[in-house]
Structure 1
Amino acid sequence: MSEWLESAISRGHQIDDWLATKRIQAIDLLSTTPWPTRKTEAWRYTSLRAIQNSKAKNIETSANLLPQNITDLSAIELVFINGQWDKTQLPDVLPKGLSISLGSDLNKEQQSQALANFSDIKPKRHLFGLVNDALAQDVVIVNVEDGFNIKQPLRISSLLSLGAESHTRVQVTLGKESHLAVIEDVQAEGDSLCTAFVEYQVSAKAHLDHYRFALQTGSNVAVGGCHFNLLDHSSMHSTIVAFGSDLSRLDTDIIHSGQFVDAKLNAIYLLDGNELFDLHATVEHAVPNGTTEENVRCIVAGRAKAVFNGRIHIHRDAQKTLAELNNRNLLMSKTAEINTKPELEIYADDVRCAHGATSAQVDDKALYYLQTRGIDRAKANVMLNFGFINELIDLMPNAVLSEWIRPIIRQRFSEMEVRV
């Protein structure tokens, strides 16, 4: 066991609140879980040295931090600053049918229900999910009542000061036939470490639009997860956009617990320098008549490293399943590295499933063609790369978010091209 994990367990023991029973369970599991090495399959291509060497620490004083402005976006702001929920940034009046509460402020009956649901969707195999179970204190509970369409998106922002450590946790429940859009993002000033986990319970005939923007770069360390449980006739559309840092890791789990569920997951990541981003996505088809479409596209420059592990598990009873997984990767330098592992594990015989992965470099002929038309090499590279991922940006349900992220990605491409 590493010194960092021993310290996390020790700090977890010192917290005594309404989540005590769950913390004890997590700590017990952590105490018997080996620290991952390169021989650990789930961490084979991702070193945890950045976590072991991290000097980030808890900063109790509240910093004056605000989420990055997104032009034309009117969102309900749920903001964590250095791991503490800043309730002052939440609107005084919430839309009808939506409630947002700190777990410690709930009454005994509500806490009992929240405790029963806590860490129920997130699988126990996620080491840093257990760390989050043990250390998260300001756990926020979000509920949408049956039949309500919340028109404003909910934005969950985790803001970190220089050298700060934080562990944030949100539980989101969508009632029957409800609709909600959730935006998750982490913004860090440097040398930070955070674990940010959100669990989603999507009830029958409900719909969730989900976005996770992991745009922190440089010396920041971020390990988080998005975990979804989908009931009968529900649907979700998730978009992940990520840059790399010293260590960025995201685990997603989509569980088809009900029939006639439709799940879409699109992910884009752009890496440069010595950055790393690791995406592990697992889809569990436990019942019949489910549909999953997963598209992951990655562009890597410099000496950066991209990791993708996509697993779709079709259980024995999950007949009539339709599942597709497509991973496409583009290398912009000879020193960049991509490790991809798409998996299909099928135990049902009446299914339609496909998966595939490709890795390639920019087409020299296409690049030459654009240069002969008077376009300089840097702009030509941006045009070709942007075309590679623009399809997934177009598929984002929220047009305001897609228009906001486009220039950020274009700028990222330009910077990558300069240093290739």
Structure 2
Amino acid sequence: MSVWLENAIARANSTSDWLSPIREASLATLKETPWPTRKTEAWKYTSLKSLERVTLSAVDIEYQDMPDEIDGFESLNLVFRNGQFDIDGLKEALPNGLTITYLPSAADSVKKASVEELSQIKPERHVFGLINDVLAEDIIRIEVAEGVSISQAIRITSLVGLNTESHTRVFVKLNKGASLTVSEHYQGNLESVNTGFVEYDICAEAKLEHYRFALQTDKSISIGGCHFKLGERADLNSTLVGFGSDLSRVDTDIIYDGEFANAKLNAFYLLDGKELFDLHATVEHAVPNCTTLENVRGIVADHAKAVFNGRIHIHRDAQKTLAELNNRNLLLSDKAEINTKPELEIYADDVRCAHGATVAEIDKHALYYLESRGISRSKAQVMLNFGFINELIDQMPNQILAEWVRPQIRNRFAQMEVTR
């Protein structure tokens, strides 16, 4: 077992609060779960050595930085600093039909109800999800009332400073016919450890527009997940943008709980140096007449390493399912690495399913053509790289977020040199 995990368990054993029923159950499971190694299928290509070696300060360090500004993006801002929630974010008046609750100070009845909700959507197989169950303290619950459409987005930002540890948890419920936009942001590039998990209960006919910007880089260790349950005729449109770091992993789970629900997942990741980014996406089609469209693209340079595992499971009763999974990758270096594993597991016979994966190099003829027209090699590389993922940026429903992320992507590309 990892020394870091042993220390985490020791801390958990001394914690007793309203969340103890979940903590105790997850801790018991965690103690029986082997620490992931290269022999663990879900961690076959992702080493946890950087986490095992990490040394963090026991002193609480106040984190003063603010979330990145997004001009024109109207949002209610919820901020975690080193895992501690900024309670001032709840002083702003909320739109009718929207409730945001800081659970540690909520009424006992609300806490009791939340214990019944938490960890019901996030699968138990996620080891770091169990760790988050055990260690997260400042937990936020967001709910939209039936039939209410919230025009303002909710922006959840996790800021992590040097030598600190952060464990954030949010639960979001959209009641029947409700609609909401949620944008998750993870920032930090210093040596630190962060687990960030969000569960989404999307009830019948509700609509969620979702973003996760996993932009932690350099020495940060960031492991988390976003987990969705879709009711009848529910609609999910999710976009994930990932940069690499010493260790960066995101697990997504989409669970269909009602017929005629739809989910669209677009994701892209950009890696350089010796960075690692690992994306595991699982879709459970447990009921008939649902649709999943999943499109994932990655660009990997230098000695960086990307891992993608996309699994779509069509249960026996999930007839009339439409599911498509496409993963495309671009390697910019002989030393870069991509491990991709798209999976279809089908037990129903009346379905339309497809999946595919490609790994390619940058088009040298296109690069030569642009250079022959007077465009510098570095600018030509940026143009070709940007074209590879621009389609997914164009598909982002919120164009303000799309315009905000574009210059960050361009700057990232400018640092990624083609060496093949």
> Normalising to structure 1: TM-score of the pair?
0.98
Counterparts of 1:49-88 in structure 2, within 5 Å, are 49-57=49-57, 59-60=59-60, 62-88=62-88
- Map of 2:401 onto structure 1: 401
* Residue 177 (structure 1) aligned with residue 177 (structure 2): yes
- Map of 1:129 onto structure 2: 129
Partner AA of 1:71 in structure 2: D
Partner AA of 2:381 in structure 1: N
> What do residues 296-323 of structure 1 show as CA deviations (whole Å, max 9, x unaligned)?
0000000000000000000000000000
Change beyond 3 A, Cα 1:242–1:112: same
> Which SS does the other structure have where 2:137 is aligned?
coil
User: Separation in 1 of the partners of 2:271 and 2:367?
Assistant: 21
User: Separation in 2 of the partners of 1:314 and 1:328?
Assistant: 23
Partner AA of 2:92 in structure 1: D
How far is 1:399 from its partner? 0.6
Q: 1:58, 1:166 within 8 Å by CA — same for their partners in 2?
A: no
- Map of 1:146 onto structure 2: 146
Partner AA of 1:101 in structure 2: T
* Residue 119 (structure 1) aligned with residue 119 (structure 2): yes
- Map of 2:191 onto structure 1: 191
Q: 1:77, 1:91 within 8 Å by CA — same for their partners in 2?
A: no
User: Separation in 2 of the partners of 1:418 and 1:57?
Assistant: 38
> Which SS does the other structure have where 1:196 is aligned?
strand
Counterparts of 1:160-239 in structure 2, within 5 Å, are 160-239=160-239
- Runs ≥4 residues deviating over 4 A: none
Partner AA of 1:319 in structure 2: Q
How far is 1:57 from its partner? 4.3
Query: Sequence identity of aligned pairs in percent?
Result: 59
User: Separation in 2 of the partners of 1:213 and 1:86?
Assistant: 20
How far is 1:62 from its partner? 3.7
Q: 1:58, 1:165 within 8 Å by CA — same for their partners in 2?
A: no
- Map of 2:16 onto structure 1: 16
Give the length in aligned residue pairs. 420
> Which SS does the other structure have where 1:417 is aligned?
coil
Which runs of no fewer than 5 residues in structure 2 stay unpaired? none
- Map of 2:39 onto structure 1: 39
* Residue 303 (structure 1) aligned with residue 278 (structure 2): no
Which runs of no fewer than 5 residues in structure 1 stay unpaired? none
- Map of 2:271 onto structure 1: 271
> What do residues 298-349 of structure 1 show as CA deviations (whole Å, max 9, x unaligned)?
0000000000000000000000000000000000011100000000000000
How far is 1:60 from its partner? 3.5
User: Separation in 1 of the partners of 2:399 and 2:167?
Assistant: 31
- Map of 1:412 onto structure 2: 412
> Normalising to structure 2: TM-score of the pair?
0.98
User: Separation in 2 of the partners of 1:206 and 1:141?
Assistant: 17
User: Separation in 1 of the partners of 2:334 and 2:117?
Assistant: 47
User: Separation in 2 of the partners of 1:90 and 1:116?
Assistant: 24
How far is 1:91 from its partner? 4.6
Q: 2:156, 2:184 within 8 Å by CA — same for their partners in 1?
A: yes
- What is the aligned-residue RMSD (CA, Å)? 1.2
